Amino acid sequence: MLLRFLKLYPLYFSLCLLPLVGIVIDMIFDNLGADPVQALHIRLGDWSLRLLWLTLFITPLQKITQWRGMAQYRKLLGLYTFFYASLHVIVYLWLDQGLAWAAITTDIIESSYIWFGVTAYLIILALAVTTPKAMVKLLGKNWKKLHRYIYIASGAVIIHYYWQLKGNMAEPLFYLIILSLLLLFRLAVWFKNRQFTKMMIPTTRKIRVVKADAVRVDQTLAGRSKGIVIEEIDSDIET
Ligand code: HEM
């Protein structure tokens, strides 16, 4: 399995770079249309959105196929989402606004759709920064909780996308339907796991272990060789 993954990884890594190669070629040959900055904005924004959706697809796919190796692909796609979103933001700050921070602040305050872009970007940034294994260890249980914010980022991106569109709403609607289906899937899995846990551990019945007096364990095998003898265990355990 690892060998198969190692062979495919460079392929998927290169595939994710193709949109950028296409954009750079169009830049070189002056093929970006009448408003190249806006074209860059739109193409980079669109690709970060597509990659975000692909990232979201990995968990349901992993649940259905039971293939744990898919987590590596989720990481790859997630980091590429961050990469394209960062380029999208750099184009806005640098090429569009010329790094004029006062104008940028005014633009952000006045354009509500950008608030949602900023919200989404900050979440994606936090998820990217906490991707390395060392961060997973450091955050422990909180890592999973933090990474669930990807759904909030996705919702914010849909609003960001929808709000600045002037005409055709079909595409954001399509993304919204997909996001809703993915959320429904997660909800169904969560509900199923909850039911299963309930079946395994009945919460209404208490198991009471009363007085295990003078339990003497006469170990004949491993115990004797180590000279272990346990006596007088007075236990009153409730679970
Ligand atoms: C600081 C954060 C962000 C800023 C300032 C920002 C800015 C913008 C601006 C100004 C536009 C309008 C482009 C135009 O039509 O001229 C836009 C569109 C868009 N942005 Fe962002 N954005 C941000 C974050 C994001 C993120 C995180 C994503 C996706 C993951 C994203 C995806 C998009 C998409 C899909 C469009 C629409 C492109 C189209 O019309 O097809 N943006 N953004």
pLDDT in tens, 182-229: 888 888 887 887 776 666 655 554 445 444 444 444 444 444 444 444
Pocket of ligand 1 contains residue 40 by CB under 6 Å: no
For ligand 1, atom 11: residue with the closest CA: 41
Distance CA 102, CA 113 (A): 18
pLDDT in tens, 121-144: 999 999 999 999 999 999 999 999
pLDDT in tens, 72-109: 889 999 999 999 999 999 999 999 999 999 999 999 99
Task: State the pLDDT at residue 215.
Answer: 46
Atom of ligand 1 nearest to the CA of 124: 27
Task: State the pLDDT at residue 239.
Answer: 23
Task: State the pLDDT at residue 183.
Answer: 83
Mean pLDDT of the chain: 82
Query: What backbone phi and psi angles, to 5 degrees, belong to 234?
Result: -105, 95
For residue 114, name the pLDDT band (cuts at 50, 70, 90).
very high
Q: What is the DSSP string of 137-171?
A: HHHTHHHHHHHTTHHHHHHHHHHHHHHH--S--HH
Opening angle at CA 76, ends 116 and 159, nearest 5: 15
For residue 164, name the pLDDT band (cuts at 50, 70, 90).
confident
Strands 229-230 and 217-218: antiparallel
Task: State the pLDDT at residue 203.
Answer: 52
Among 78, 74, 72, which residue's Cα sits nearest to residue 5? Answer: 72
Q: How far is the CA of 123 from the centre of ligand 1 (A)?
A: 15
Task: State the pLDDT at residue 227.
Answer: 44
Pocket of ligand 1 contains residue 45 by CB under 6 Å: yes
Tokens (6 digits) for 5: 């993954």
pLDDT in tens, 8-55: 788 889 999 999 999 999 999 999 999 999 999 999 999 999 999 999
Task: State the pLDDT at residue 61.
Answer: 87
